[in-house]
Chain A
């Protein structure tokens, strides 16, 4: 199975440990991962701000990079959602690009989607003895349709104490450039989200999109709250390592 990693610009530059956890975990699930070099970004920052031309030029790097892959997996529901939801209109009118976009849509998955739907795995053998709450990201759930997969994976983790996040489906206020352009509104939104996270008493906030997590995490850090923010792949991989350590011990 040839799986290409769509690493996303955010994880590439800000959160390489998320990509690493994902690769290590997929490797243990029997998946060999490649990293096509030409990819940079899906173009979403420009697209969502109304700059379609700019987004098209940037998003096109993905079309070429993944042309040869059987599967494309990404640590972001938002970036995958951009491909699935907006690439058709972005590349309409350019036959070759439109065809590549269509192929990319059919073979690309967000991480938890890939593990559950394609690999058919919900139990990765992890153990994570902590109090954890989960934030479902808007683009992953609403644009891409990732609904239960992250919870299915979390439900099978041993010793985890999963606590529901109040108002979980409410946006955290990230929204890409929205967070800067409408900083005050975004702040009110993330402050409420951080308060709900704190309310759960969770030690760890887990999610599937680093954009949202860096927003909520940045707020939690500013408030001095001792909540650790983790991508689902990080939590699962750390849990697998822990489980193995216990098994050996």
Chain B
């Protein structure tokens, strides 16, 4: 769903960024922690500019599209219900889906992990003696590192989604679920294409898209195998639904004689009626479109008498850590995700570091939750800390996945498993020892007020020492007050006297919500009466 959109999105502000084609090697999974990768990304002004530009556009459009539809919260809730119900009964719907797929003439494979899935696809391609594979966008194919596996067999794989095509040219991974080349500027893309085609190009969308179209058209016609993902699998008919914007999905799924689908096992919806809800939620959340440009529904391979379609349809259904989330109340909802990327577009962390800094196939808030869940181990254990827990991701999610809560629960899991630094554990042990007991708390604060003295200048601390360094490297820290509030309070109360006597009329307790009504009645009315406009009225200026 990314290509044309991508090129159009990269604005004129970056059009002059030609020299930047210097293809910085993208951060790769495992290359240091998320902190180190983020630090590198933060130095990259092209990346940050490009990500800011496009996510800003997408946010604005999403908001407009949600308002245009109306009753967005009800749509979200319906979306959540559909996904929660499906995942709750995944065994049932998956079986129904597979039975119907087979009845429609497809061959179905289950893959326990990424390796098995990649081997399965490689096996089908080998059996079909495929030399050229054309692909439309598929995050699962990234998850199983399929291109790499096929290349080992000497198979040429061509990404036909424009965004994917761009990053394939620079040998990078997608940095966004929907907009794989979001981190590239228009100027960078022009230079890439010019180098690939040996011709001069402008930075105009039309020219860039035309170049890709010319190049890719030959590939569509020559390919032996077409490879797609699957946005939704409809259980009641065994249909594969693809949402694309460039039409490449249709080329890939109809022109080659063999069509292979790779999909996650949770990508099911029960019925066609549910597709209406998803068809409203997904494009609006992803790109702010009312509808995706192409919604393709594939039910089995080409049947007798049909003109279009492949001879064979193979569907590879991937587990790779998904089923481990089933039955876990804290993490099962991660399987509700419909891969729209809305959480990336609103995430203030993603905004500054882009997708590669996450070092996993799935970036952004959903990646910070999904990656450590799919691959249980320490490799992605630091991703849940790459969030300020602001909750923007949850607010943007069209199926209401509580990502902010899951990030906290993943941190809890790290603590439980001992995947934390001893110094951190000791610090929170000390926090507990001090803050759980009033006497110790007061004593510790008194000590801190004394200890801070050498560091305080004009009521602030700027010294880059100790654990404060992360803060003071870029901002001042306020000094502890000479006298804490709780020590001032008695004098304050004595000064003020009874409420309402300080020259101002008091307000009337006037609860609004029903929930407050009872409590307010219990609280009774304070002395004095005021009008609803406020105690001071209008004539107050001297």
Contacts and interface: CB of A to CB of B under 8 A. Distances in A.
Interface of A: 1-2, 7, 9, 11-17, 19-20, 23-24, 26-33, 35, 37-38, 40-41, 43, 45-54, 57-58, 60-61, 70-71, 86, 106-107, 116-127, 138-139, 142-143, 156, 158, 169-171, 173-176, 178-192, 214-215, 217-219, 221-222, 240, 243-249
A37 B530 CA distance: 32
A170 B346 CA distance: 8
Contact of B390 (A13, A57, A107, A175): A175
B502 interface: yes
A2 B519 CA distance: 11
A184 B39 contact: yes
A1 B408 contact: no
Contacts of B349: 182, 185, 189
A142 B394 contact: yes
B38 interface: yes
B124 interface: no
B453 interface: no
B470 interface: yes
Contact of A12 (B420, B485, B499): B485
B504 A54 contact: no
Interface string B138-155: 000000000000000000
Interface string B205-221: 00000000000000000
A16 B462 CA distance: 21
The 8 A-B residue pairs whose C-beta atoms are closest, nearest first, are A30-B506, A125-B536, A123-B534, A120-B510, A175-B388, A183-B470, A50-B411, A218-B475
B503 interface: yes
18 contacts: A14-B480, A24-B492, A33-B493, A52-B415, A54-B432, A58-B431, A61-B438, A107-B519, A118-B520, A121-B535, A124-B535, A124-B536, A125-B535, A170-B351, A171-B392, A180-B468, A186-B388, A222-B476
B511 interface: yes
Interface in B467-518: 467-471, 473-481, 483-486, 488-489, 492-493, 496, 498-500, 502-513, 515-516
A117 B511 contact: yes
Given A23-B496, A47-B408, 11 more contacts: A29-B506, A30-B527, A70-B522, A120-B507, A138-B389, A158-B540, A180-B471, A181-B385, A188-B352, A190-B474, A221-B475
B534 A122 contact: yes
Contact of A51 (B385, B428, B445): B428
B21 interface: no
A41 B435 contact: yes
B473 A40 contact: no
Interface string B428-441: 11011001111001
B42 interface: yes
Contacts of A49: 411, 415, 424, 428
A49 to B, nearest CB: 6
A218 B460 CA distance: 9
B486 A37 contact: yes
Contacts of A37: 438, 486
B481 A46 contact: no
B305 interface: no
Interface of B: 35, 38-39, 42, 348-349, 351-353, 385-392, 394-395, 404, 408, 410-415, 420, 424-425, 428-429, 431-432, 435-438, 441, 445, 448, 460, 462, 467-471, 473-481, 483-486, 488-489, 492-493, 496, 498-500, 502-513, 515-516, 519-520, 522-524, 526-528, 530, 532-537, 540-542
A180 B470 contact: yes
Given A57-B432, A143-B391, A178-B385, A27 B496 contact: yes
Contact of B509 (A1, A13, A14, A217): A1
B8 to A, nearest CB: 23
B435 A247 contact: no
B516 A190 contact: no
Contacts of A46: 428, 431-432
B540 A142 contact: no
B305 to A, nearest CB: 55
Nearest to A215: B475
Contacts of A120: 507-512, 532
Contacts of B437: 40
Contacts of A189: 348-349, 352, 388
B431 A243 contact: no
A156 B535 CA distance: 12
Contacts of A23: 489, 492-493, 496
B73 to A, nearest CB: 13
A1 B534 contact: no
B519 A246 contact: no
Contacts of B435: 9, 40-41, 43, 58, 61
Contacts of B39: 184
B352 A54 contact: no
A185 B38 contact: yes
